[in-house]
Every structure is written in structure tokens, then in C-alpha cells.
Amino acid sequence: MNIRPLLFAVSFAMFGFAAAQSATTDDAISQDELVRRTQELFDAVVPGNSEPWKKYFADDCIFSDEKGRTMNKAALVADIKPLPSGYSGTIKIAKVQSIIHEETAILSYDLDETETVFGQKLAARYHGTDTWLRRNGTWQIAASQAMRYYEDPAVGQADPKKFADFIATYELAPGQTKTVSIEGEKLYVERKGKREQLLPETSDIFFRKRVEGRVLFRYADYGKVDALIDRRNNEDIIWRKTK
């Protein structure tokens, strides 16, 4: 029996298998594949399936979320838990951009989240950026950061009877002033020629459209407004009433 053709066939098959493996591990990754893997990650969030997170995140990864937490892989994987009973939702990737160069790929994308909490529907928008590295033939995320888009609060009910208390000029420092005025039943603040409406969140708390933070009016012990407060992230800038 001549076994040389059989050995040749086996050797050729093994060579083909090794070449296929090499092509699989060494080929550059595409944006479509990055999106597929990333969507797989977020599809696993609701059921609390941590397996894709174990698979696609490097052991030495850095993960920073929209809450300001920075986690290693162990903490990240431990954070993937099923939603509580009565909760459901989806997270979908949108507006994808990428930079892919040799051993590095950066994927930037929006996340459109819908959530139902005991029948009440909520929505939120986030932005994520992941840095993928190819090491030892495997693509994994080495660094990931997420942020939540700012959204204005819902407009509440104002109390126009209080507006007269707020009308004044307020000073931060010499030459730095704001003026509050009313027009009909609307309240406005103006600084250096820029005039913006103060929208009510409640009768005593206001915000400006597409501007993070709140505007409050401080009442002194004698019952009159003595300051306008710009509040952002629980920090206050106080503008004192001058006239």
C-alpha cells in the first residue's frame, strides 16, 4: 500500500487549516464586525449575560461609565446583572464612526436606550467610544468610555405672581451683571446683550434651554430676594442683587 498520497493529502489539509486560522486571527477587523460585537455586548445587558463582556474586553481593560465609575474587567463583569422584575428595555447602536489602523481600532457611537419600568416608558441617549487592540491575534477592547447626553428637564408650572420678586440687576463682580425681566407671563435673563428665557422646572427653580444647570432666586431673612444663584453639579455661583 502506497501511503505517500495519503500523507500528502493530510499534510495539505493541515496546511490549509493552519492558513485559515492565520487568516482569521491576523486579518484586520471591519467597522461592521466591530458594530456586530458591540451590539452583542449591549444585547447582553438586559438579560445580564456577562459572557460577551468576558470575551470582548481585555483582562487589563479600563472601563469608565456615564456615572463616573472607572472599573477593571473583574468589576465590569460583576456589574452585568439582569434587570429587576418589572423592568425591560433595549439598547441600540446608532451614528457609528470608526478609525481602524493596523493593530488599533476606535469605534465611536450613540446608544439609544428604551426602558419600561412597570409599564412606564423611559428613553435615554448615551455616547460611547471604545478602543480595540489586536494582541496575539485577538481583537479586544482595552479602553471604553461612556457619557450621557444632557437633556432639558420637563417644563413645570410657573407662578407669575412671584416674578415681581425676581426683577432686578444682579452682580457677580464689578462690570459683571445679569438683568432679570418679565414679558407677559415669561421670565428672561440677559447678560451682555444675550437674552434667554428662564423656563420653570418648579415655581422656584428655573433652567435655560440646552444649558446644563439651574437658576434659583435666594430669599433673605427679611423676605426679599437678595441673590440669583447659578447652580451646576451642586456648586453655586452667587450673583448679588444690586437694584
Domains and CATH numbers, the chain: 4-148 (3.10.450.50), 160-241 (2.40.128.50)
Q: What is the pLDDT of residue 17?
A: 43
Res 178: pLDDT = 96
* pLDDT value at residue 140: 98
What is the overall mean pLDDT for the chain?
Answer: 90
How much is the average pLDDT of 45-59? 97
Mean pLDDT within 123-144: 97
Query: For residue 160, what is the DSSP state?
Result: G
pLDDT score for 12: 40
**Region 24-44 average pLDDT:** 89
pLDDT of residue 3: 44
| Rounded (to 5) percent helix, strand, coil in the chain | 25, 50, 30
DSSP of 89-114: EEEEEEEEEEEEETTEEEEEEEEEEE
Q: For 60-107, how does the pLDDT look when each residue is reduced to its tens digit (9 = 90+)?
A: 999 999 999 999 999 999 999 999 999 999 999 999 999 999 999 999
Cell of 128: 460611547
Higher per-residue confidence, 131 vs 23: 131
Name the band, by pLDDT with cuts 50, 70 and 90, for residue 20: very low
Distance CA(166)–CA(124), nearest Å, equals 34
For residue 22, is pLDDT > 90? no
Residue 224 to residue 243: CA distance in whole angstroms:
12
> What span, in angstroms and rounded, lies between the C-alpha atoms of 83 and 88?
7
Using pLDDT thresholds of 50, 70 and 90, give the confidence band for residue 4: very low
pLDDT attached to residue 203: 87
How far is the C-alpha of 188 from the C-alpha of 167, rounded, in Å? 9
What pTM value is reported for the model?
0.77
